[in-house]
Amino acid sequence: MRNRTARLLPLAAPLGALALAASLPAAGRPSFDCGRASTWAERTICNDDALADADREMSAAFSRRRAALADGGQRRHLLTEQRQWLGRRDECRTAPAPTACLEQQYEERIEALGGRHDPAPPRAASGAPALAEAPPAEPRPGAVGAWAECHAGDAAGADGLCLDRLLAAATAAFGDAEAATLKRLAGADGTPPNAAAAEAFRASQDAFLRFRDATCRWRGAAAAHGTESVRQACLVDYTRARTAEISAARR
C-alpha cells in the first residue's frame, strides 16, 4: 500500500478518504474521522460497518497505488480521478437504493485501484508459493542496500525479479506507515485530531516522493550499466529509509 501517497496532497475533510489508508484499525471504522463527517455519504458510511470497512479498504488501495506511481504527473492524475469518483459516490444519495449504490461504487473503485491487498502469496497447485511472488532474498552478510541484496549469491543474475519484489514490499510498507500516521493524526487512536499536522505530513510526503523519484532517475541515468536496476534499487533504499523515519516519528 504505502506509497505511498503519493505522494499525498492537502485535502479538505470531504477528501479525507483519498489518503487515509487503514493499518488494520478496528472493524467498522472508516478511513476518515466520523466526528468530522460533513456529507450524506460520509454520515451514511459512518453508520454502516460494511461501508466503513469498504471505505478503509479503498483508502488502503489508493495509498498503495499512489505509492507505486513513478512521477508527480501520474499522482496528480490519480488524485483527479479520485476526486471525480468521490463526486460519483456522493450522487448515490439520489439513487433508488442509495446504500447498494455506495457498495457498488466502493467495490468498483477498489478494483480500479488494484484490488484488495492479500498479504499471503498465491499458491501453485503443489501448495508451494508461486515463483513470481516468492519472498525477496534475505540480505547476505556484508550486503548493504537493495542492489547488494539482489546481486549476492543465489540472487545474482535475477536482479530484475528480485528488485521488483523488494520494491513491491517497500512500497506496501511505505503505504502502511503513511496510513497509520494519517489515521493517528485524524484522531483514530483517541487523541485529538490534528488537521494542520496531517496537511503538513501530506506535503512532506509529496516532497519526499518528488525528491526520491528525481534522484533515482538521475542515479539510473548516470550509471555505466544496469540503468533500470540502479534506479529500482535506489527507489527501494529511499522508500525503506522514509518508512523507517515515519515509523520512528509515530513512537
User: pLDDT tens digits, residue range 136-154?
Assistant: 333 333 335 887 877 664 4
Given this model, what pLDDT does residue 251 score? 63
Whether pLDDT at 38 is above 60: yes
Given this model, what pLDDT does residue 152 score? 60
pTM above 0.85, yes or no: no
How does residue 94 score in pLDDT terms, banded at 50, 70 and 90? very high
Return left, alpha or beta for 37; rule: phi > 0 is left, psi -120 to 50 is alpha, else beta. Answer: beta
Given this model, what pLDDT does residue 99 score? 92
Whether pLDDT at 76 is above 50: yes
* 129: DSSP letter: B
Topology given in CATH for the domain delimited by 133-250? Substrate Binding Domain Of Dnak; Chain:A; Domain 2 (1.20.1270)
Cell numbers standing for residue 141: 552478510
- Between vectors from CA 109 to CA 124 and to CA 80, what angle results, nearest 5°? 125
Helix axes 159-185, 49-68, angle to 10 degrees: 130
Do residues 42 and 104 lie in contact, with contact meaning Cβ atoms separated by under 8 Å?
Answer: no
How does residue 104 score in pLDDT terms, banded at 50, 70 and 90? very high
**Cα separation, 232 vs 217, whole angstroms:** 9
Question: 1-16 burial by CB neighbour count: b if 16+ within 10 A, else e?
Answer: bbbbbbbbbebeebbb
167-211 confidence digits (pLDDT tens): 888 888 888 888 888 888 888 878 888 888 989 998 899 999 999
**What percentage of the chain exceeds 90 in pLDDT?**
16
Which of 39-43, 67-71, 215-219 is predicted least confidently?
Answer: 67-71
Whether pLDDT at 90 is above 80: yes
How does residue 67 score in pLDDT terms, banded at 50, 70 and 90? confident
Residues of the chain with CATH 1.20.1270: 133-250
Given this model, what pLDDT does residue 160 score? 62
Q: Look at residue 123 and give its three-state secondary structure.
A: strand
Question: Considering all CA atoms of the chain, what is the largest pairwise distance in Å, rounded to the nearest integer?
Answer: 63
Average pLDDT, the chain: 73
C-alpha dihedral (30, 36, 39, 44), degrees to nearest 10:
40
C-alpha dihedral (215, 221, 227, 232), degrees to nearest 10:
10
Given this model, what pLDDT does residue 28 score? 59
Do residues 205 and 3 lie in contact, with contact meaning Cβ atoms separated by under 8 Å?
Answer: yes
Do residues 230 and 219 lie in contact, with contact meaning Cβ atoms separated by under 8 Å?
Answer: yes
